[in-house]
Amino acid sequence: MSKNVALLVAEAPWFSFKTNHDQASCIPFFEGVKKLVNDSTDKPQLNIYNCNYYDNKSLEKALEHLVDTREDIQILYIGGHGDGKRIADATINKTTELIREHGKKIKGLIVSSCMAGLTDKLAMASEGAFSSSDRSISWVNGPNWIISYKYAVDWFPSALVETSIVRAFTEHYHQEGRLNSKADILGCLSHALAPFDLHQEFASDKSDNRKSLGDTIRIWIRAQGASQPTDVTEDLLAQLGYLEFEAE
């Protein structure tokens, strides 16, 4: 299997032109990762494909277009303002349904949206689904790992975290070509989050109480062969020493 990685970016507008003239986007951050990891033309490459979306219908069209790449390894980033029920104007329920339908090669999912990880709805993106075509019906299982947030995150710090995650997973896929076990995925996440202070204020809850990165992040893993994803947030935080510190 090829070790090339496709980063699929589906991003809704973050700000109006009045408040943010140049329109902030995650893409320049990810392009920096691409320039860093693509150190030779004869080695595995990270390629970035992007589409805008606004609602359920446009997200459906965006995903249909984005997943049609040559790479066997895809990481999907979906970004947009959220309230725990929607990402931009796309519902989380419809989003997970679309990811299951189109997730044959999607290995990882980053949902950059406030409160998208407050419930377990996102985990449904990694559950089994039937994908039909004109000549065949195949079983599709979606991403092996999912990352999102329980609270309303600050835009710039979350972009930095997501950039580090893209880099860590891309480098691993380039080296190994696969990343299937819970232990290996947790190791990759630990590497990505190691530069960050998990106790630093990172988000706000519905009462405007400030929350740390460790309290905000939410992660699910579906290891190879498993039919259902598992919430591994506490496993990761324990591995990083966050829970031990909180207990003191």
Instruction: State the DSSP string of 177-235.
Output: S---SHHHHHHHHHHHHTTS-TTSEEEE-TT--EEEHHHHEEEEE--TT-SS-EE-HHH
pLDDT at res. 131: 47
Spatial separation of the C-alpha atoms in residues 219 and 230, rounded to whole Å: 8
3-state secondary structure of 163: helix
| Residue with the two structure tokens 């893993």 | 221
What is the count of structural domains for the chain? 1
Q: Which of 244, 228, 225, 227 is nearest to 236 (CA)?
A: 244
**Quick check: pTM over 0.75?**
yes
Domain interval for residue 28 = 5-247
Query: 229: how many CB neighbours lie within 10 A of its CB?
Result: 24
Token pair for residue 32?
A: 């920096």
pLDDT at res. 127: 74
pLDDT at res. 214: 97
Token pair for residue 85?
A: 């029920």
pLDDT at res. 180: 87
Please, is 216 exposed, middle or buried when counting C-beta atoms within 10 Å of its C-beta (0-12, 13-18, 19+)?
buried
Handedness of CA 147, 153, 155, 160 (dihedral sign): negative
What is the full per-residue pLDDT of the chain (248 aa) written as tens digits? 679 999 999 999 999 999 999 999 999 999 999 999 998 888 999 999 999 999 999 999 999 999 999 999 999 999 999 999 999 999 999 999 999 999 999 999 999 999 999 999 999 998 765 545 555 554 556 899 999 999 999 999 999 999 999 999 999 999 998 898 999 999 999 999 999 999 999 999 999 999 999 999 999 999 887 878 999 999 999 999 997 655 54
- The CATH number for 72's domain is 3.40.50
pLDDT at res. 141: 62
